[in-house]
């Protein structure tokens, strides 16, 4: 059974309809979810650029996993973590920048 099983119909002008559809699209939400969040006073946050941050975080994770694998195989004697730390710092700065933009 569907969780949301009640329909609410509203009337609006074509211009209002266009604007609501545009806003939902801009926020990356389905029309229903956008309208429900607005009506219930929930905060809508758009985090542009999050895909790039996720990609970089995954790359860092893969690098760490490769280092751990080599270390467990006793094929690793020394590691220069500086490039990895530099990359982590960049990603952390990007996250901070996105959070400041959201506020």
- Number of independent structural domains in the chain: 2
Any domain includes 22: yes
pTM: 0.48
Any domain includes 1: no
Structure confidence by residue, pLDDT tens digits, 19-41: 999 999 988 889 999 999 999 99
Kindly provide the residue ranges of all beta strands, DSSP E only, lying in 1-103, ordered along the sequence: none
> Which range is least confidently modeled, 19-23, 63-67, 73-77?
73-77
Looking at the predicted structure, is the pLDDT value of residue 90 above 90?
no
Separation CA 89–CA 48 (nearest Å): 19
Tokens of 98: 């996105």
Please check whether residue 60 is in contact with residue 87, taking contact to mean a CB–CB distance below 8 angstroms.
Answer: yes
Q: What are the angstrom distances between the C-alpha of 85 and each of 61, 66, 80, 94, 96?
A: 12, 15, 10, 14, 16
Print the domain residue range for 36: 7-44
Q: Please give the mean pLDDT across all residues of the chain.
A: 86
């Amino acid at each position: 059974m569907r969780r949301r099983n009640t329909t609410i119909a509203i009337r609006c002008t074509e211009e209002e309809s266009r604007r609501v559809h545009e806003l939902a699209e801009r926020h990356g939400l389905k029309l229903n979810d956008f309208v429900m969040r607005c009506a219930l006073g929930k905060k809508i946050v758009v985090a542009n650029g999050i895909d790039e941050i996720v990609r970089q975080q995954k790359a860092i994770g893969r690098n760490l996993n490769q280092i751990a694998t080599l270390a467990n195989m006793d094929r690793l004697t020394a590691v220069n973590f500086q490039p990895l730390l530099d990359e982590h710092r960049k990603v952390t700065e990007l996250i901070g920048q996105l959070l400041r933009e959201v506020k």
